[in-house]
Amino acid sequence: MQGTRRVLNAQQDATLAVLTDLILPATDTPGAKAADVNSFIDLLLAEWVEPEDRDRFLKGLADVDTRAHAAFGKDFIQGTPDQQTALLVALDDEAARWKASPEATRGREPFYRTLKWVTLFAFFTSEVGATQEEHYAIIPGRYVPCAPADTLAPTE
């Protein structure tokens, strides 16, 4: 996919790929990589967002590298999985603290929160995420008002 991006350069694309796959890894179902969330995020950056929001997102990706250099002296993508995960834990904690602060009602959300939302959206609206993780049925065929909570899909 690299080289076909319209906004993301190779470094940004690789950084985003690691981040999104840490957020939604392959488990018993495919993860962010299999759902190609990077392609959709690149599309949004190219066609959908305002220029200032695109710049904020790209700055956020650059900031991940800044933090990586401070934490382990390398680009984020060159860290070990443990180093990458530790950095993401810190970002996740910061976002949770932001959400609980008065800033959440007025300020701009941190880059990481945007990243988390767009990763979720790109994954669950992909065919892979919608069908294999969510068991989304285009035509459920019926409405079951009180199905067991672990029901995967409508059953006849």
Partner 1 sequence: MPKTYDAIVVGSGMTGGWAAKELTEAGLETLVLEAGRPITTADYVEHVPPWQMHFRGLDDRKKRSADQPIQRECYACDEWSSKFFVNDHDNPYTTDPDKPFLFLRGRQVGGRSIMWGRQVYRWSDLDFEANLKDGIAIDWPIRYADIAPWYDHVERFIGISGEKLGLPQLPDGQFLKPMELNCGEQVMRDAIAKHWPGERVLTIGRCAILTEDHLGRAACHYCGYCERGCVTLSYFNSINATLPAARLTGKLTLRPFSVVHSLIYDKQRNRVSGVRVIDGETKHALEFRARVVFLCASTLESARVLLNSATPDFPGGLANSSGELGHNLMDHIMGGGANGKITAPNDKKPVGRRPNGIYVPRFRNLAGGPKSPFLRGYGYQGGAGREGWGRGADLPGFGAGWKRALRDPGDWGFSLYGFGECLSNHNNYVEIDNTKNDAWGIPVLKIHCAYGENELALMKDASIAAAEMLAAAGAREITPYIEVNPPGKAIHEMGTARMGRDPKTSVLNAHNQAHDIPNLFVTDGACMVSTANQNPSITYMALTARACDYAVGAMKRREI
Binding site for partner 1 (CB under 8 A): 22-25, 27, 31, 40, 43-44, 47-48, 85, 88, 92-93, 96, 99, 113, 116-117, 120-122, 124-127, 130, 133-134, 136, 138-151, 153-154
Asked if 92 contacts 47 with a C-beta cutoff of 8 angstroms, the reply is: no
Closest to partner 1 by CB, 102 vs 148, is 148
At closest approach, how far in Å is the CB of 124 from partner 1? 5
d(CA 48, CA 3): 20
CB atoms within 10 A of CB 67: 14
d(CA 84, CA 91): 11
d(CA 141, CA 146): 15
At closest approach, how far in Å is the CB of 81 from partner 1? 11
Closest to partner 1 by CB, 55 vs 93, is 93
Closest to partner 1 by CB, 10 vs 90, is 90
Closest to partner 1 by CB, 30 vs 75, is 30
3-state secondary structure of 36: coil
